[in-house]
Amino acid sequence: MSDKKEFVKELTNMDEDFASWYTDIILKAELVDYAPVKGFMVIRPYGYAIWENIQSVLDKKFKETGHTNAYFPLLIPESLLNKEKEHVEGFAPEVAWVTHGGSNELGERLCIRPTSETIISTMYSKWVKSYRDLPVLINQWANVVRWEKTTRPFLRTAEFLWQEGHTLHETSNEAEEETIRMLNIYADVFENYLAIPVIKGRKSDKEKFAGAVATYTIEAMMHDGKALQSGTSHFFGDGFAKAFDIKYQGRDGKEAYPFQTSWGVSTRSIGGIIMTHGDERGLKLPPRIAPIQVVIVPFAQHKDGVLDKVEEIRKTLSANYRVEADIRDYQTPGYKCNHWELRGVPVRVEIGPKDIEQGQCILFRRDTCEKEIVSLDNIEKRVGELLEEIQANMLEMARQNRINKTKTAHNLDEYLKIFEEADGFVKMMWCGERNCEDKLKELTSATIRCIPFEEEHLGDTCCVCGKAAKHMVYTGKQY
């Protein structure tokens, strides 16, 4: 027991200092480490294994909806970046440049991709000639670099990993359908795999992607009430096609420009998992994306038959689950339990000589930290049920947190009072004017997260200016 107290003490209290708690978790659970270049992160094997699981779920869904993967270059000539005015203005402040090849200065600066619309559009202009070439449904798994001033591992780093889908369509309707289709896939993966409930909606014009006609988003609420923009899907109209001269011969024989989309989810999602589910003992991983779903911790492992039994259980469970047996002989069982709790493994099997005698073992579930005794004959079935229960319960706990921290404001006084008390989502009516949006940010640093697809009618007037309201919006402070 003394083991555990010592260990937990090493984590900052999450209610006192959520940011330090977050840093403690990512370092101590060995998800990332800081890199020699400021703002960059090293993703360690345990962190990368989470990303691989998210990747494989997304990749499967992209392929099921007709997309294929390709790879485009890391470097983009400056002239390409400059072709779409709003896009370059949006990204220029955070672009990293390559100016030399060896010791020779380059004739044209090359930017390290902050996103790939420009280079991909350039290639599409070569590939698309006829309506028969449409739709183009390509995704790329890649890294991008954005020279951010303030960084935090997973949430905002100078380099991050992501996927970016880039599609071309014959009609505006088709492209808009694609934008929503991909947003729905993101929402499905976040809710049903990452156990993070999200609100689907559209960004305000101020918050939309540089160069997009419309940006759709899934917004999640973290444990501390702050918002995390978790995935975005953009509809470009034919703006990029015109800027990059992507032209094709239409069904009527006339020249036409295709309609374009792009959509992305990044390693930021791992930050979302940590901040949605973690607790005072550490990380909690949803079973469907946990690199290790079950860990077996033996007690008195030097006693006859214990390690044999552990190996037998490991083999049985490994048929269907990702299992590891912690048989390190230089660590105590107490240390091991803490070690795996910190790393968020959903189920722990504890077994010692007495349990073996009685044909049973103990199952510990990380989501509620409860224990139960199960007969060894029934272990495979019960572990399977438990993983499903944990997955569902984690989504429910996150949903409950969001319900508790979502408030409604009808006027500015109410709005300010809510944020004085605590962070969270505030639902309000909005006139649609930029002035009111700016004022909200000035007063509280909270921004409009989205205009939800499912708007509620909370009143007839704008919460800020009192004029006629156009939309209901969610606001919140963002990561």
Q: Which of residues 178-217 bind Zn ion (CB under 5 A)?
A: none
Q: Are 198 and 183 in contact (CB under 8 A)?
A: no
User: How many residues bind to Zn ion according to rule CB under 5 A?
Assistant: 5
User: In whole angstroms, how close is the CB of 420 to Zn ion at the nearest point?
Assistant: 21
Nearest to 469 by CA among 479, 460, 457, 478: 460
Assigned token pair, 69 = 């993967």
For Zn ion, the closer CB: 122 or 447: 447
Q: Are 159 and 36 in contact (CB under 8 A)?
A: no
User: In whole angstroms, how close is the CB of 467 to Zn ion at the nearest point?
Assistant: 5
Under the binding rule (CB under 5 A), the answer on residue 128 touching Zn ion is no
> With CB under 5 A as the contact rule, which of the stretches 101-109, 176-184, 393-401, 457-465 interacts with Zn ion?
457-465
DSSP alpha helix (H) spans, 151-279: 172-192, 239-243, 268-277
Summarize the chain as % helix, strand, coil (round to 5).
Answer: 40, 30, 35
Q: Are 206 and 473 in contact (CB under 8 A)?
A: no
User: In whole angstroms, how close is the CB of 464 to Zn ion at the nearest point?
Assistant: 4
User: In whole angstroms, how close is the CB of 65 to Zn ion at the nearest point?
Assistant: 39
> With CB under 5 A as the contact rule, which of the stretches 160-168, 225-233, 292-300, 455-463 interacts with Zn ion?
455-463
Under the binding rule (CB under 5 A), the answer on residue 464 touching Zn ion is yes
Under the binding rule (CB under 5 A), the answer on residue 448 touching Zn ion is no
Nearest to 386 by CA among 290, 310, 294: 294
Under the binding rule (CB under 5 A), the answer on residue 138 touching Zn ion is no
Within 10 angstroms of residue 169's Cβ, the number of other Cβ atoms is 21
List 380's β-bridge partners, or say none.
none
Alpha carbon separation from 29 to 76, 178, 229, 329, 341 (Å, rounded): 36, 38, 24, 21, 9
User: In whole angstroms, how close is the CB of 435 to Zn ion at the nearest point?
Assistant: 7
For Zn ion, the closer CB: 43 or 431: 431
For Zn ion, the closer CB: 23 or 408: 408
Sign of CA dihedral 323, 328, 332, 336: negative
User: In whole angstroms, how close is the CB of 430 to Zn ion at the nearest point?
Assistant: 6
Listed in sequence order, the residues at least 6 apart from 271 whose beta carbon sits closer than 8 Å to its beta carbon are: 22, 152, 153, 154, 155, 228, 479
Under the binding rule (CB under 5 A), the answer on residue 451 touching Zn ion is no
For Zn ion, the closer CB: 89 or 205: 205
Q: Which of residues 381-440 bind Zn ion (CB under 5 A)?
A: 431, 436
Under the binding rule (CB under 5 A), the answer on residue 472 touching Zn ion is no
For Zn ion, the closer CB: 285 or 464: 464
For Zn ion, the closer CB: 373 or 468: 468
Assigned token pair, 128 = 């698309």
User: In whole angstroms, how close is the CB of 406 to Zn ion at the nearest point?
Assistant: 21
Under the binding rule (CB under 5 A), the answer on residue 306 touching Zn ion is no
Binding residues (CB under 5 A) for Zn ion: these are 431, 436, 462, 464-465
